[in-house]
């Protein structure tokens, strides 16, 4: 009779908790600011409820079999149920890895790659299942030592067969830990160049500039040189302006000075690496080098700065009445020496402009 009364009391307590205790807690732990204790209660809510039900059933069973809990089978069943319920709670608790990492990030200023979250969750769940399976097998009398030895030989065979896959996994871990690049970065590795769309533990998806999706094994990215253009800090502009061979030196000097003044006044251009010089005297052109770095690395904004510079150069060329170099061809007849005067020019293009 006392056992039946206890069973009824436990059932009533379970109903009260499910009706009035758990709903407020559920609303609280669904909030992002819920702490570790609330996350722990959330993870073990269902296992605890199942444990209350099993306890009530055990008390009811004790009404007909008073000594079942102290028998060998009874104690084994209790241990197995405890292992399963604990493992169930730990499995659910691993889903809160992202929330804990966010709390650590805010509290200690740490940084975590989002890609690592499913990996950490998977490792925690694998460890939970492995430990639980090992403990349950021990309860049934299996020798764990021989099983581990067999798994070791099997694991060696699998490792040899999946050498490339394991190489990609380790390379993925290196990329995530060292933060070689992140999603949205523009990278270049060998013949692959584009924007990173997704990083997994095995491969990296890169969207090329022709909108093709390239899936690159992580081992390939780690083994060879990799250039991360997004982290360059500044973007280079370098091109040459070919002036006519008949341009007087004083006009070249004024042309260089006006370009330097124009670029120096541009707030979007770094002034510490500004090089504008007449550096090459070629057979078909007087070459002027224009070399500087922009403060922006955005391609669209970079193109606007280059366009603005080119338009300014064209304006200076027109005002100084300087012609751009055109391909020339000199005709020499038999028996005559080549003359430097009056060369015969090829037909010029319709819209001559600066050569980049």
What CA–CA distance (Å, rounded) separates 95 from 128? 12
The whole-angstrom separation of Cα 161 and Cα 301 is 50
29 CB-near residues (< 8 Å, 6+ apart): 38, 39, 41, 42
Spatial CA neighbour of 1 closest among 27, 9, 333: 9
Q: Does the structure show a pLDDT above 90 at 138?
A: no
- Range in 4-13, 113-122, 243-252, 267-276 with the lowest mean pLDDT: 4-13
- 8 A C-beta contact, residue 204 and residue 175: yes
**Is the confidence at residue 319, as pLDDT, over 80?**
yes
CA distance linking residue 319 with residue 306, whole number of Å: 20
pLDDT at 27: 61
In sequence order, which residues have a C-beta less than 8 Å from that of residue 307 and are 6 or more positions away?
none
In sequence order, the β-bridge partners of residue 241 are 288
Structure tokens at 57: 């059933």
Tokens 């067969």 belong to which residue?
A: 161
Range 281-303 average pLDDT: 92
pLDDT in tens, 55-85: 777 777 777 777 776 777 778 888 888 888 8
Give the ranges where the chain is alpha helix by DSSP (H). Answer: 2-16, 22-29, 36-43, 45-64, 72-93, 97-108, 116-139, 144-161, 163-178, 218-223, 249-264, 299-320
- What is the pTM (predicted TM-score) of this model? 0.53
For residue 329, give Cα distances in angstroms to 120, 244, 344, 355.
70, 14, 5, 19
Helix boundaries (H) for 209-282: 218-223, 249-264
Average pLDDT value for the chain: 77
Q: Measured between alpha carbons, how far is 23 from 42 in angstroms, rounded to an integer?
A: 11
Whether 30 shows a pLDDT value over 90: the answer reads no
In this predicted structure, which of 60-64, 111-115, 222-226, 283-287 has the lowest mean pLDDT?
A: 111-115
From CA 137, how far away is CA 146, in angstroms rounded?
Answer: 12
Beta bridge partners of 286: 243, 281
Q: Token match 């608790």: residue?
A: 93
In terms of Cβ atoms closer than 10 Å to its own Cβ (0-12, 13-18, 19+), residue 1 is exposed
Task: Give Cα 170 distance to the centre of its chain.
Answer: 16
- pLDDT surpassing 70 at residue 311: yes
The answer to whether residue 54 scores a pLDDT higher than 60 is yes
By DSSP bridging, strand 213-217 and strand 328-329 are unpaired
The answer to whether 226 touches 180, Cβ cutoff 8 Å, is yes
User: Would the pLDDT of 302 be above 70?
Assistant: yes
Q: Are 71 and 65 in contact (CB under 8 A)?
A: no
Are the C-beta atoms of 73 and 34 separated by less than 8 Å?
no
User: 290 vs 339, which has greater pLDDT?
Assistant: 290
CA distance 234 to 66: 80
């Amino acid at each position: 009779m006392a056992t039946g009364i206890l069973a009824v009391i436990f059932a009533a307590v379970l109903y009260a908790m499910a009706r009035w205790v758990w709903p407020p807690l559920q609303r609280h732990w669904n909030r992002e600011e819920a702490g570790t204790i609330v996350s722990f209660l959330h993870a073990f809510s269902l296992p605890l409820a199942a444990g209350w039900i099993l306890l009530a059933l055990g008390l009811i069973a004790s009404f007909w079999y008073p000594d079942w809990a102290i028998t060998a089978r009874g104690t084994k069943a209790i241990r197995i149920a405890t292992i399963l319920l604990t493992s169930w709670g730990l499995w659910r608790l691993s889903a809160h890895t992202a929330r804990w990492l966010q709390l650590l990030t805010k509290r200690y200023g740490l940084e975590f790659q989002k890609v690592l979250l499913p990996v950490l969750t998977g490792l925690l769940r694998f460890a939970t299942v492995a430990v639980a399976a090992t403990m349950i097998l021990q309860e049934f009398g299996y020798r764990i030592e021989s099983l581990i030895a067999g798994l070791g030989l099997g694991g060696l065979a699998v490792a040899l067969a999946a050498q490339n896959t394991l190489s990609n996994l380790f390379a993925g871990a290196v990329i995530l830990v060292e933060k070689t690049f992140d999603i949205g970065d523009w990278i270049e590795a060998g013949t692959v160049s584009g924007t990173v769309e997704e990083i997994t533990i095995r491969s990296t998806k890169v969207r090329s500039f022709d909108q093709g999706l390239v899936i690159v094994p992580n081992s390939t990215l780690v083994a060879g040189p990799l250039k991360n253009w997004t982290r360059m800090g500044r973007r280079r502009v370098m091109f040459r302006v070919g002036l006519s061979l008949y341009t007087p030196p004083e006009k070249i000097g004024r042309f260089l000075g006006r370009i330097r003044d124009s670029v120096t006044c541009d707030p979007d251009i770094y002034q510490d690496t500004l090089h504008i010089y007449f550096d090459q005297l070629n057979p078909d052109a007087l070459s002027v080098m224009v070399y500087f770095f922009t403060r922006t690395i955005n391609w669209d904004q970079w193109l606007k700065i280059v366009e603005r510079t080119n338009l300014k150069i064209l304006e200076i060329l027109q005002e100084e009445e300087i012609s751009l170099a055109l391909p020339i061809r000199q005709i020499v007849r038999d028996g005559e020496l080549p003359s430097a005067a009056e060369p015969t020019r090829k037909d010029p293009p319709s819209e001559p402009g600066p050569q980049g």
